[in-house]
A = this chain, B = another copy of it.
Amino acid sequence: MIDKDQIAEFFLFNALDDEHLENIAGFCTSTSLKPGDHLFMEGESAEAFYFIKSGQVKIYKLSVQGNEQILEILEDGSTVAEAAIFDREIYPAYCMALENTLLIKIPAKNFIALIEKEPAVALKIMHAYSKRLRYFVSMIEKLSLQDVRARLARYLLENAEKSEKGLVCRLKISKKELAAVLGTIPETLSRALRILRDKNIIVLEKNNITINSRSALERLLS
C-alpha cells in the first residue's frame, strides 16, 4: 500500500482530485529491484503495469540463439508494460532492472475500472501509447533501412546534449547494452565507434562521447 502523494506526481494522474488519488493509492503497491532482477519474463501473464519511481530497466527480446534486442530503456517517470494489460494479458518481452529500481505496481483490473470513470486518464494513456507506437515505428525503420553506423550516428545525435565542450552524449548504459539497443553486438559497435573516432567525428572517453562534427554524423544518415 502506498500514499496518495506518491502517485500524484505521475503525469497519468496529475489531473485527478484528492478523492481519486486516495482511491488509486489504495490498490497500488510498490516493488523494488536490484540490478539483474527481472520484473517480468516474456510470456508471463500480465496482471499489472508499473511506474518507475527511480532507477532504470530494459525491455528486451531474446532470439533462440540467445541474441538480445533491447526494445526500450525506461527510466524514472516512465510507465512499464501499460500496453500489455488491455490485450492478450501476456508480457511480450522481458523486463530487467539495470540499476536499483523502485516501482509502483498498478493492477490492471482496478485501472481499467478507473478509465471507465475517468476519460482524462484514458486520454493520457492513449497519448503514452501513441508515443510508444511512434518510437517502435522509428525503430523498425532504423533496423530495416539503416546500417549499424547510421543507427549509431542517429543514436548519438538524439542523445547528445549541449555542454561547455560542445555536443556530448553521456552514455547512461554500458556499451554492451547500447549494442543491444542498436540491434547489433558489442564487437560491431566497438568498431563503428572506432571508425567515427578515426575520422575525427567523435571523441571517446569512457562514458562520454563528444561530437566534433555534427554535420558529418548527419551525413551518415543519408
Contacts and interface: CB of A to CB of B under 8 A. Distances in A.
Interface of A: 61-64, 67, 69, 71, 83-88, 92-93, 112, 115-120, 122-123, 125-127, 129-134, 136-141, 143-146, 183, 221-222
A126 B61 contact: no
A18 B193 CA distance: 61
- 7 smallest CB-CB distances across A and B, nearest first, come from A63-B145, A122-B122, A136-B136, A87-B130, A144-B183, A129-B129, A64-B222
Contacts of A143: 140, 143-144, 183
B93 A137 contact: yes
A26 to B, nearest CB: 20
A139 B138 contact: no
Contact of A133 (B83, B116, B122): B83
A127 B93 contact: no
A113 B174 CA distance: 44
B71 A129 contact: no
Contacts of A88: 134
A86 B120 CA distance: 13
Contact of A126 (B117, B129, B138): B129
Contacts of A183: 143-144
A177 to B, nearest CB: 15
B145 A61 contact: yes
Of A93, A137, A144, which is in contact with the most chain B CB atoms at under 10 Å from its CB?
A144
Contact of A63 (B85, B131, B139, B146): B146
Nearest to A67: B145
Of A86, A127, A139, which is in contact with the most chain B CB atoms at under 10 Å from its CB?
A86
12 contacts: A63-B146, A64-B221, A83-B129, A86-B126, A87-B127, A119-B122, A122-B126, A129-B129, A132-B133, A136-B136, A139-B140, A140-B140
